[in-house]
Structure 1
């Protein structure tokens, strides 16, 4: 990968942010495997040892639909109905089913999904998008203030302007410093 994907935003934003300007950080099944490994602590059910081209296509479809809805929300527009339908269909293809079991000491619940790995990946990611779209904090959604950045984030602090202080924030601060001292 040319650059490391940012992680730490809600899963659906992390997914959309794998497509910064002119780059696709999930352009191969291997890159998808790397991204899924980065997300493993949050959602271990996403771990796919060797993603296939079908897995990659399913993830791209959910990413495109999620990005379309987020773009509409950023511009105070109604999301396209076909995009919402596509996310609902992806989520329904491998719905989450909680199964109860006794572990010897207590009742446990394990979430399982039936379907191909592509259907399971798409369902988990579509479900994450649905959770994001319906979260009250979605009204705080922002695009990075750096001119050449398209990444999205949900600010924990109202003054946050950049996708990452280390990535874009530092570049902007260095450019401002250079401009101020260039005149000297």
Structure 2
């Protein structure tokens, strides 16, 4: 049985991976455990996520956009895991991401509130195209060598690690959980 605090933590959106496309992958909690949790459970939740990523489109996201986001997420997960594991890239995932790249629009600068901003994507498809572009740029560039997975096998969160020293997605979550398990294992063997 999972405590209410643990359930809330599992369901919370993550924005600590280093890139929007990796944050999209992180919208499944415990993705590699026995009970994955869908964090993009509704269009409202997807809208929240897009807004937090500064990708909220001018028109409201739809159910179709949410379904497409989940498809893109799984294709990106396949490519990211292949990168980390030094495995061949699944061609179906490459093809899928390429489909999303066709929805990418040219970025346009706008002056708003006295500063420069990139204009919001016009719709959900264009927002997903931007995410696909960021992933393609990073997976095919130098950032690919910075891609890591959390050492907790149930978590397995993918993140960018420019320092090359991170082991856990979040020391205060997975790192602490690991230390507690190790402490219990040592105590049990005494």
Conserved 8 A contact 2:60-2:124? no
Q: Take 1:110 and 1:162, find their aligned partners in 2: how far apart are those partners? A: 32
Give the secondary structure class of the aligned counterpart of 1:93: coil
**Which residue, 73, 92, 99 being the options, matches 1:63?**
73
Partner of 2:5: none
Gaps of 5+ in 1: none
Partner of 2:85: 75
Provide the TM-score with structure 1 as the length reference: 0.78
Going from structure 1 to structure 2, the CA distance change for 1:164 and 1:129 (only over 3 Å counts) comes to same
Partner of 1:28: 42
Query: Which structure has the larger Rg over C-alpha atoms?
Result: 1
- The number of equivalent residue pairs is 175
Partner of 1:11: 20
The 10-residue stretch of structure 1 (47-56 or 127-136) with the greater mean CA deviation from structure 2: 47-56
Provide the TM-score with structure 2 as the length reference: 0.76
Gaps of 5+ in 2: 1-7
Going from structure 1 to structure 2, the CA distance change for 1:110 and 1:70 (only over 3 Å counts) comes to closer
Going from structure 1 to structure 2, the CA distance change for 1:49 and 1:30 (only over 3 Å counts) comes to farther
Going from structure 1 to structure 2, the CA distance change for 1:123 and 1:178 (only over 3 Å counts) comes to same
Give the secondary structure class of the aligned counterpart of 1:72: helix
Q: Take 1:120 and 1:174, find their aligned partners in 2: how far apart are those partners? A: 44
Cα offset for 1:177?
2.6
